[in-house]
Every structure is written in C-alpha cells, then in structure tokens.
Amino acid sequence: MDCSEYLFFYNFNAQGYWTGLATFGPYVSLYFAGYEKLKHAGRQYTGQHDLPFYYYLTMAGVAGAASAAVTCPLDVVKTRLQVQDKTNTYDYKNGWDALKKIVAKEGWSALFKGIKPRCLWMAGGTATTMAAYEEVKKVFNYMFQ
C-alpha cells in the first residue's frame, strides 16, 4: 500500500472534505464577482481596456481579502472538522453541529479567529495569480493578433 492510498482510504476525513468544498465555492464565487466588478470600475475610471499591472494586482488583492473575510466562518468550521480526529480536542458530528457548538461555547467572534492571516494569505495569492494571468493574457493577445 502506498502513501496516497493510505491517506485517502484509511485517513480520509469526509466531513472536512465536504466542508472544504462548501468553503471554497462561496469564496471563489465572491472573489471572481468582486474582481470583475473592480476591473470594470477600473476600466471606466481610466478609459482603457488594458489596465496597468498594479491595477490588476490591487484589485485582485482587495477582492481576495474581502472574499476571505466573508467566508472566514466557513473556514473556521472546516478547519475544526479537519483537525478534530488528530487532536481529539473537538467532538463535532458535521459542519452544522460544529457551527452551533463553536458559537455556543466560544461566541460569534470565534468564527473569525485567524481572519487577519487568512485575508493576507488570500490577498497575496489572488493578487499575484490574477495579475500574472492578466499580463500573460496581454502577451498572448499581442502574439496571436
């Protein structure tokens, strides 16, 4: 048995997996919607279709950070579910149960633990990814016109 087989079949945390998908979906939806709105506003503001690199960098970073902040409670629930088997600290049945227990025991503010590093991490990643994507897209458009 290889390592990947062991991790998937014997050490797979389905609750954390599905909650991870439930976190990622809203994050990506909010991020792309926000980024496209900001990009449209930038184009209207400058009157240019191709914006400078730092516009893309800034807009993607803002959209990424805002989306990360909004989905932080989902990320907290996902993380708690993923680590509960390893630490024996938590006893959650599913995401909804985890959400209720976190709020009851620690209060609403617990759902926003780690919001600053999450926002910084996501802002940096999305800013670099999307700015690079927009620049490569410009190069390809120029090459293949």
Flag whether 7 is in a domain. no
Flag whether 3 is in a domain. no
Flag whether 21 is in a domain. yes
Flag whether 31 is in a domain. yes
Torsional class of 142: left (φ above 0), alpha (ψ -120 to 50), beta (otherwise): alpha
What's this model's pTM, rounded to 2 decimal places? 0.82
Q: Nearest-5° angle of CA 137, CA 119, CA 38? A: 45
Domain with 136 in it: 13-143
The DSSP string of 22-64 is HHHHHHHHHHHHHHHHHHHHHHHHH--SS--HHHHHHHHHHHH
pLDDT digits (tens, 9 = 90+) for 46-100: 999 989 999 999 999 999 999 999 999 999 998 888 887 766 677 888 889 999 9
pLDDT average, residue stretch 15-38: 88
Flag whether 33 is in a domain. yes
